[in-house]
Each structure stands twice: as structure tokens, then as C-alpha cells.
């Protein structure tokens, strides 16, 4: 393990101890206590929040993203935002299977944490419909209250997903973010979001499953 990883790991280990001691104080509205994996990822998340921008890519070597509910969402489901990343719609504007996996995972988290807010992000309109609008329609159709959903429909890349969503974070006082996308995309997406927020809030991720 290099010097950069040791620095992040040291912070993560300290954070893990603090989180384990405070795990019994989960906020009202949380679904359940964080798992061991979720606590580990939460610790890495906090460690990555305090490193310099140049060191952020090394955080990806320590993250162990999976399908567990993130500790940051379990402990604070009120101002932690669930961010579901878009994917290309069909020419007719229909949601492809890969995007439905992300939506189903986001829906699961939103259902388990009914006080959480959801941001759907993605532009690239097809048949007059942006990814964000199609995603918002899907979630509303699945029963998520419209007031919980914010659509960011101007971004054309993962980097822009992060930058434009960070503007929403700033405007409404978001204190943490959980990025939902597929496993092959998640590490890069979380890195882009961590770069966008520049240590202001912690960011972690959840792997989408169908």
C-alpha cells in the first residue's frame, strides 16, 4: 500500500471506529442499522472527503461498493440525497434495461428511506424526452411522491452529471450523496462526484441490481 492509500486508510480506520461507536444513534426514519460493509465504506467515504483532489483517484482502490444500504443514508436519511445516473434512452425515448436496473435500485432505497430525496440526472433527449424526465416519470409511476424527485436534465456526461447535480446540492443544503449506477460505472462516477463537491460533503455509491 502506497503513502496515499495509507493516508486514506488511516483516516478511514479512525472514521470506522467513530461510526461504530455512534451506530446506535441512527436517525428516526432509517430502515435498519448499517452493515459491517456499509460501515467500512462509510469510513472510506469520510477518509476520501478530507484528502486533496489529487489523491481522490486512490480512494477507488479502497472502496468496496456493493448493494448494501450506505451508512450515511441509514444514519441521516433526511439530507442525504439518492442520485440515480441516467443512461441512453432508445430512439423512441424508452428506458433501456441498464437504466431500469439503476431505477429499481434507487426505488428500493427511496422506499426504505421515505424521508430521503432523489435526484435523477441525465440530458441527451430522445423523442423529446430527456433521461431525467423519463427517470422521473418511471419513479412517479412506481409510487414515489413527486415532491421527493428533482430532475437534472441538462448534463451530457458523467462529469456534467456530477457538476450540475452539485449545484442542486448547494442550493438545498445536501449533507451527503449516494450515487446509484452499474458496477462498471460506479467507481468513476463516485470519483467525478467527489471531485465536483471538493470535500464539502461525503459521497459514496451503491451498485445497481435489476
Grid cell listed for 194: 467527489
Q: What residues make up the domain containing 60?
A: 3-207
Based on the structure, what is the number of domains in the chain?
A: 1
Query: pLDDT by residue (tens digit) across 117-126?
Result: 999 999 999 9
Are 169 and 194 spatial neighbours (Cβ–Cβ below 8 Å)? no
Give the pLDDT score at 27.
43
pLDDT of 35 reads 80
Calculate ∠ Cα 80-154-203, nearest 5°: 25
- Give the pLDDT confidence score for residue 88 in this predicted structure: 96
For the entire predicted model, the pTM comes to 0.87
Bin 168: left if φ > 0, else alpha if -120 < ψ < 50, else beta.
alpha
Give average pLDDT by consecutive 10-residue segment, the chain, 210 residues: 59 51 43 77 90 89 92 94 98 97 98 97 96 98 98 98 98 97 96 97 93
pLDDT for 29: 46
pLDDT score of 25: 41
CATH number at residue 60: 3.40.50.620
Residue 85, classed as helix, strand or coil, is: strand
DSSP 22-71: HGGGPPTT--SPPPHHHHHHHHHHHHHHTS-GGGHHHHTTT----SSPPH
Amino acid at each position: 500500500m502506497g503513502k496515499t492509500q495509507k493516508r486514506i486508510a488511516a483516516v478511514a480506520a479512525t472514521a470506522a471506529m467513530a461510526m461504530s461507536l455512534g451506530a446506535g444513534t441512527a436517525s428516526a426514519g432509517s430502515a435498519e442499522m448499517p452493515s459491517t460493509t456499509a460501515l467500512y465504506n462509510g469510513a472510506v467515504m469520510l477518509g476520501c472527503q478530507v484528502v486533496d483532489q489529487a489523491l481522490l483517484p486512490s480512494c477507488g482502490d479502497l472502496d468496496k461498493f456493493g448493494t448494501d444500504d450506505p451508512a450515511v443514508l441509514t444514519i441521516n436519511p433526511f439530507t442525504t440525497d439518492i442520485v440515480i445516473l441516467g443512461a441512453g434512452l432508445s430512439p423512441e425515448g424508452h428506458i433501456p434495461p441498464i437504466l431500469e436496473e439503476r431505477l429499481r435500485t434507487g426505488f428500493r432505497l427511496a422506499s426504505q428511506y421515505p424521508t430521503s430525496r432523489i435526484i435523477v440526472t441525465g440530458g441527451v433527449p430522445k423523442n423529446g424526452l430527456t433521461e431525467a424526465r423519463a427517470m422521473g416519470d418511471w419513479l412517479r409511476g412506481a409510487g414515489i411522491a413527486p415532491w421527493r424527485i428533482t430532475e437534472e436534465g441538462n448534463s451530457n456526461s458523467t462529469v456534467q452529471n456530477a457538476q450540475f447535480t452539485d449545484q442542486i446540492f448547494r442550493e438545498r443544503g445536501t449533507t451527503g450523496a449516494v450515487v446509484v449506477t452499474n458496477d462498471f460505472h460506479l467507481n468513476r462516477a463516485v470519483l467525478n462526484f467527489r471531485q465536483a463537491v471538493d470535500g464539502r460533503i461525503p459521497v459514496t455509491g451503491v451498485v445497481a441490481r435489476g
